[in-house]
Amino acid sequence: MSDLAVFFGQALTVGVVTVLMVMALSVFFNRLPRLGQKRKELVLKSATELFDEGRQYDVLLSSGQRLLALRFEGVVRADAESGWPLSQFAVMRRSDGGKVILRIDSVRVFEEVTRPRTDG
């Protein structure tokens, strides 16, 4: 009978140690992200901060369409109450004088270009 008591004592000890190790590892891995470097917060800029008025841009839209040599003229807000900077439309002009209105959240990439102006 003493062998059975020793076995149960050892099994209980192994069980308690296992539970304590799992709890310690759980606490460690929950606290681990706080020990490293803090991530920089994502800062969303408005279109007026991204585009300079009167400058020309080549724009690639999310649909894959490329628009070349667009001159930025201004911004129109879709919903003034939302406060979400991507609910804006950029008003731009093509080199032939046509107006282009872009949803800011549909722009994948834009690049400022230094082409000679053709609007005389």
Q: Domain span at residue 85?
A: 47-113
Co-location of 51 and 102 in the same domain: yes
Assigned domain for 85 exists:
yes
Number of domains in the chain: 2
Co-location of 22 and 52 in the same domain: no
Assigned domain for 120 exists:
no
CATH code for the domain in which residue 105 is found: 2.30.30.100
Across 35-66, b (16+ Cβ under 10 Å) vs e yields eeeeeeeeeeeebeebbeeeebbebeeeeeee
At 77 the pLDDT is 75
**Per-residue pLDDT for the chain (120 aa), expressed as one digit of tens each?**
688 889 999 999 999 999 999 999 998 888 776 666 666 777 767 667 778 888 889 999 999 999 998 998 888 876 656 665 556 788 899 989 899 988 888 888 989 888 655 554
At 28 the pLDDT is 87
Co-location of 29 and 59 in the same domain: no
At 65 the pLDDT is 92
Report pTM.
Answer: 0.52
Assigned domain for 102 exists:
yes
Co-location of 55 and 109 in the same domain: yes
Assigned domain for 103 exists:
yes
